């Protein structure tokens, strides 16, 4: 276990937390879609095959939204008496910021828009 300390959370709350995390991913994909759309308009991508492949972003976004909606629905059908040790469940999550959000941990100075353990690379011209 996790050094004897259990962090038991009702399943409906866990489902809603995961649903919100998936919604963040969907929002990120939508932002990426908008950026790529601007690049397409600017002529950075050529050919219909590239445009067809870009539609996969839309499918990913729709799928993430659907999974988020499913978890929200499952949350409403779950018993609050059912509990999950979220600390133990999140031990395999490699991104600290995601793990913290799944555990309900709020850190000082943490950004919701941050990519977690991702380091920005300096852009060179």
Q: What is the DSSP letter of 47?
A: S
108, part of any domain: no
Instruction: Please give the pLDDT value at position 124.
Output: 43
* CA–CA dist 81, 91 (Å, integer): 23
Residue pLDDT, tens place only, 65-89:
999 999 999 999 999 999 999 999 9
Phi, psi of 44 (to 5 degrees): -75, -25
> Among the ranges 30-44, 45-59, 69-83, 95-109, which has the highest mean pLDDT value?
69-83
Say whether 103 sits in a helix, a strand or coil.
helix
Range of the domain at 50: 8-103
Instruction: Please give the pLDDT value at position 67.
Output: 97
50, part of any domain: yes
122, part of any domain: no
109, part of any domain: no
111, part of any domain: no
2, part of any domain: no
Q: What is the domain-level CATH number for residue 17?
A: 1.10.287
Domains contained in the chain, number: 1
Q: What is the DSSP letter of 8?
A: E
Q: Which of 45, 20, 25, 5 is nearest to 115 (CA)?
A: 25
Cβ density class 77-89: b for 16+ within 10 Å, e for less: ebeeeeebebbeb
46, part of any domain: yes
Q: Is the dihedral of CA 107, 113, 119, 121 positive or negative?
A: negative
Global pTM reads 0.74
Residue pLDDT, tens place only, 106-120:
877 655 444 444 454
């Amino acid at each position: 276990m996790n050094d004897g300390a259990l962090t038991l959370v009702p399943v409906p709350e866990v489902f809603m937390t995961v649903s919100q995390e998936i919604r963040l991913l969907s929002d990120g994909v939508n932002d990426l879609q908008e950026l790529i759309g601007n690049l397409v308009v600017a002529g950075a991508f050529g050919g219909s095959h590239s445009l067809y492949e870009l539609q996969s972003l839309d499918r990913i976004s729709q799928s993430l939204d659907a999974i988020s909606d499913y978890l929200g629905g499952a949350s409403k059908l779950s018993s609050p008496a059912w509990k999950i040790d979220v600390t133990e469940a999140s031990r395999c999550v490699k991104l600290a910021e995601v793990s913290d959000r799944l555990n309900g941990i709020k850190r000082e100075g943490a950004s919701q828009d941050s990519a977690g353990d991702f380091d920005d690379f300096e852009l060179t011209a």
